[in-house]
C-alpha cells in the first residue's frame, strides 16, 4: 500500500494512537533492536567489573597480560554488537518520526484546504503557520522521545535493576530510593510546564501575525507615516515572545541538573556500604569486580532515570501542541474526480426563483430568475450592496441558496466540487495572486503558453518591459504589481483556465475606459462558445451585452439594455449618470 493511500485510510486522525498504528513496521524493528541494545547495556558494567578484577589479578600475579587483552577484545566485540543494535534502533526511530511528521502535515494540510471560507476566516494566519510548523514538530518530537525512552529508559532501567538486585537487594532498595523523588518533582512541575508552554505558543502566534501584518501592509504604513508605531507594536510582541520563550525553556531544561543530583545521591551510600561488602563486613561478600559493576550499573541507571524525568517535560510540551492541532486533524477528504457529465456538451443555464442570504442575516436577493446560452454575455448590475457579488459567489458554492440553478438539467448544488470546477471559472473582487511569477499565477501548473491571454487583457507589452518578463515575481499577494496589473493578471488566469461558464466580478474596475473596451472585445472573441456573467458597477459596455440582470432592492429585472432604458427609470438614471459623468471628465 502506498504512503498516500495509507494516509487516506487513517480512521481517527485526531487520536495520537492512529499515527503509531500507521508505523507498525518501523516500530516493530525499533522494539526488537531496542530490547537487544538496552539488554546489551548490561555488558558495560559487567565487563568493567571483570576488567578491574583482572587488573588486580595481574598485579598480584594470578593472571597474565594476555588474559586482559582477550577479555578486552571480547568486551569490544560485545560493545560493537550493542552499538549496531543502537544504530538500527535510532535509524528506525527517526524514520518513524519523519513518517509521522509527514502524515500529520498531510492531515493538517488536507483539513485546511477543505475548510469553508467562514472556517478559514476564523483561523488567524499566524496561528495556522505556528500549528503547521512548530506545533507539529513539537508533537512529533514528543512522540519520538517517548518511543526512544521506552527502551533507552524503561527497558534498560529494568535490566539494571535486575543486575543490582542480583548483587545486593538491600543496598539496591536503599540507594534507589532517591530516583522516585526525581519523578515526583517532575510530576509536580508538569502543570507549570504546560502553562508556560501554552503561553509561549500563544506569544508565537501573535509574533507571527505581527510579522505578516508588517510585511503585507508595509506600503500602507509607509504612506501614512505609521511605520514607527507598527515597529513599536512589533517590538512589544517580540519582547513578549522572548520572555515567554525563556520562561518555557527554563522550566523545561534547567531542572535536568536537579534531577541528576537527586538520582545520583544514592552513589554515596553505595561507596560506603559497598566498601563494607568488599571488606566482608556488609550484607554480602563482594570482590572488586562486583563493587565496580554495581557502582557502574547504578550510575548509568541513575542518569537514565533523570532523563525519564526530563521526558515528562517533553511529553507535556507535546501535549500542549497536540491540543492546538487536534481540532484540525480531521478525516482525509479525497478529491472526487468521478463524474458522468460530458463537459464537451453545450450548457444551458437556468436560474429560477433564486434567493440568497448569508447565514443568520436577512434576504439579500429574493426570487430572481434568468437564463443564458453559450455565446451570451449577461451583465449584472445594481446599486451598492444590492447583492451582485453575492450572486456570483452562489455559483461557486460559497453562499447557500434557495430556489434553483440548473445546468444540463442538473441542480448546481448537487454537483461535486470537481464537477463545478470543470463547469465554472470565477474571478472575484480580490485578485488572490500567489507569491510567484506572473506566468505561474496564470498557468496554475499547466504548460500552455500565456502570450495570447496577456494580449487579451492588454498586459503583454507591460510584461515584456519587465526585467524578467513573465517570470517576474508578483510578490506577496501581488504587491509588486499595480491594482490594474493585478486585476489583468487575474483575468488572464480566468481566461486561460476558462470553463463553460465564466463569472467575472468587476474585471475592469482598475483599468481605464479605452483599455476596458479593448479587453472586452478580446473577451468576446475568446468566449464566443461560453456563457459569461459579468458583474459590474460600470455600465459603459452594457449596451453591447446580450442581456442585463438589474438588481434593485432584492428583486431583479432581466431584459436587454435597450428595454431597460425605456422601461426602468432606476437603470436609466444610473446609466445616464455614468455616461454624463464620463463626458464631463473627458
Does residue 572 sit in the same domain as residue 531?
A: yes
User: What does the pLDDT average to over 49-60?
Assistant: 80
Top-confidence range, 220-234, 294-308, 385-399: 385-399
Residue percentage of the chain with pLDDT more than 70: 89
My answer on whether 319 and 363 are in the same domain is no
Judge contact between 389 and 429, C-beta under 8 A: yes
Domain match, 288 and 363 both: no
Residue 75 has pLDDT above 70, yes or no: yes
Residues 285 and 144 in one domain: yes
Q: How high is the pLDDT of residue 512? A: 84
36-50, 249-263, 281-295, 388-402: range with lowest mean pLDDT: 249-263
Asked if residue 384 and residue 253 are part of one domain, the reply reads no
Choose the weakest-confidence range: 241-255, 415-429, 446-460.
241-255
**pLDDT at 581 (0 to 100):** 62
Same structural domain, 58 and 184: yes
SS3 content of the chain, % helix, strand, coil (to 5): 65, 10, 25
Please give the helix or strand (H or E) that residue 288 lies within, else none.
helix 288-325
Same domain, 447 and 301: no
pLDDT, position 7: 59
**pLDDT at residue 1 greater than cutoff 50:** no
Residue 337 lies in a domain: no
- Together in a domain, 151 and 264: yes
For position 89, what pLDDT does the model report?
Answer: 86
Q: Please report whether residue 26 resides in a domain.
A: yes
CATH of the domain at 481: 3.40.50.300
- For residue 253, what pLDDT band results from cuts at 50, 70 and 90? low
Q: Cell numbers for 358, please give them.
A: 448569508
**Residue bearing the bigger pLDDT, 191 or 365:** 365
Given the C-alpha cell 462558445, which residue does it identify?
529
The residues, ordered by sequence, that sit 6+ positions from 144 with a Cβ below 8 Å of its Cβ are: 93, 94, 96, 97, 100
339 within domain boundaries:
no
333 domain residue, yes or no: no
Q: Establish if 157 belongs to a structural domain.
A: yes
**pLDDT of 504 strictly over 80:** yes
Domain of residue 456 covers 349-585
**Is the domain of 318 the same as that of 199?**
yes
Q: Is the pLDDT of residue 451 over 90?
A: yes
Q: What percent of the chain has pLDDT over 90?
A: 20
DSSP designation for 244: H
Answer with the one of 293, 328, 363 that is the final residue of a domain: 328
- Closest listed residue to residue 426, CA positions, set 519, 497, 483, 479: 497
How many independent structural domains does the chain possess? 2
The residue that leads in pLDDT, 150 or 100, is: 100
CA distance 106 to 101: 9
pLDDT at 46: 74
> Coil, strand or helix: which one is 358?
coil
- The dihedral sign for the CA sequence 242, 183, 311, 12: negative
**pLDDT digits over 547-567, tens only?**
999 998 777 899 999 999 998
**Residue 335 belongs to some domain of the structure:** no
Which is more confident, 38 or 426? 426
- 356 and 278 co-located in one domain: no
| pLDDT surpasses 70 at 8 | no
Q: Is residue 229 part of a domain?
A: yes
CATH code (residue 255): 1.20.1560.10
229-249, pLDDT tens digit by residue?
A: 878 888 888 888 888 888 777
Amino acid at each position: 500500500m502506498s504512503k498516500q493511500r495509507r494516509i487516506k485510510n487513517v480512521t481517527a486522525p485526531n487520536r495520537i494512537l492512529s499515527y503509531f498504528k500507521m508505523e507498525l513496521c518501523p516500530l516493530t524493528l525499533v522494539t526488537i533492536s531496542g530490547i537487544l541494545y538496552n539488554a546489551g547495556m548490561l555488558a558495560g558494567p559487567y565487563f568493567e567489573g571483570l576488567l578491574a578484577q583482572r587488573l588486580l589479578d595481574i598485579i598480584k600475579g594470578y593472571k597474565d597480560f594476555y588474559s586482559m587483552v582477550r577479555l578486552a577484545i571480547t568486551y569490544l566485540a560485545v560493545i560493537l554488537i550493542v552499538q549496531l543494535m543502537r544504530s538500527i534502533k535510532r535509524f528506525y526511530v527517526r524514520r518513524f518520526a519523519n513518517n509521522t511528521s509527514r502524515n500529520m502535515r498531510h492531515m493538517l494540510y488536507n483539513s485546511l484546504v477543505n475548510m469553508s471560507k467562514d472556517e478559514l476566516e476564523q483561523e488567524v494566519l499566524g496561528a495556522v503557520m505556528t500549528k503547521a510548523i512548530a506545533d507539529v514538530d513539537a508533537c512529533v518530537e514528543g512522540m519520538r522521545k517517548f518511543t526512544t525512552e521506552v527502551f533507552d529508559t524503561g527497558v534498560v532501567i529494568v535490566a539494571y535493576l535486575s543486575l543490582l538486585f542480583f548483587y545486593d537487594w538491600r543496598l539496591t532498595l536503599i540507594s534507589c530510593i532517591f530516583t522516585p523523588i526525581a519523578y515526583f518533582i517532575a510530576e509536580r512541575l508538569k502543570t507549570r510546564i504546560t502553562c508556560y508552554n501554552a503561553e509561549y505558543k500563544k506569544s508565537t502566534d501573535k509574533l507571527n501575525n505581527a510579522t505578516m501584518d508588517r510585511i503585507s501592509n508595509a506600503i500602507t504604513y509607509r504612506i501614512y507615516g505609521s511605520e514607527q508605531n507598527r515597529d513599536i507594536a512589533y517590538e512589544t510582541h517580540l519582547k513578549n515572545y522572548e520572555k515567554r520563550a525563556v520562561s518555557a525553556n527554563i522550566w523545561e531544561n534547567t531542572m535536568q541538573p536537579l534531577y541528576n543530583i537527586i538520582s545520583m545521591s544514592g552513589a554515596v551510600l553505595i561507596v560506603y556500604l559497598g566498601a563494607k561488602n568488599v571488606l566482608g563486613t556488609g550484607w554480602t561478600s563482594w570482590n572488586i569486580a562486583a563493587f565496580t559493576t554495581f557502582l557502574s550499573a547504578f550510575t548509568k541507571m541513575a542518569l537514565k532515570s533523570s532523563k525519564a524525568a526530563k521526558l515528562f517535560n517533553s511529553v507535556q510540551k507535546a501535549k500542549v501542541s497536540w491540543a492546538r492541532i487536534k481540532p484540525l486533524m480531521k478525516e482525509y477528504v479525497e478529491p472526487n474526480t468521478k463524474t458522468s457529465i460530458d463537459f464537451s456538451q453545450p450548457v444551458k443555464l437556468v436560474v429560477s426563483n433564486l434567493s440568497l442570504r448569508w447565514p443568520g442575516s436577512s434576504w439579500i436577493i429574493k426570487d430572481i430568475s434568468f437564463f443564458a446560452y453559450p455565446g451570451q454575455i449577461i451583465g449584472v448590475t445594481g446599486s451598492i450592496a444590492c447583492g451582485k457579488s453575492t450572486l456570483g459567489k452562489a455559483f461557486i458554492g460559497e453562499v447557500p441558496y434557495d430556489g434553483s440553478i440548473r445546468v444540463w438539467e442538473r441542480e448546481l448544488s448537487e454537483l461535486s466540487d470537481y464537477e463545478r470546477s470543470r463547469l465554472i471559472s470565477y474571478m472575484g473582487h480580490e485578485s488572490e495572486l500567489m507569491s510567484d511569477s506572473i506566468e505561474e499565477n496564470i498557468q496554475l501548473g499547466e504548460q500552455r503558453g500565456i502570450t495570447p491571454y496577456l494580449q487579451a487583457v492588454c498586459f503583454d507589452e507591460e510584461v515584456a518591459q519587465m526585467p524578467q518578463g513573465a517570470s517576474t515575481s508578483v510578490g506577496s499577494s501581488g504587491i509588486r504589481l499595480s491594482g490594474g496589473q493585478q486585476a489583468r493578471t487575474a483575468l488572464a488566469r480566468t481566461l486561460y483556465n476558462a470553463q463553460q461558464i465564466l463569472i467575472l466580478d468587476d474585471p475592469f474596475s482598475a483599468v481605464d475606459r479605452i483599455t476596458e473596451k479593448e479587453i472586452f472585445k478580446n473577451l468576446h472573441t475568446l468566449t464566443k462558445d461560453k456563457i459569461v456573467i459579468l458583474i459590474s458597477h460600470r455600465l459603459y459596455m452594457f449596451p453591447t451585452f446580450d442581456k442585463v440582470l438589474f438588481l434593485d432592492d432584492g428583486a431583479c429585472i432581466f431584459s436587454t439594455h435597450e428595454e431597460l432604458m425605456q422601461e426602468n427609470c432606476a437603470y436609466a438614471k444610473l446609466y445616464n449618470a455614468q455616461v454624463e459623468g464620463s463626458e464631463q471628465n473627458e
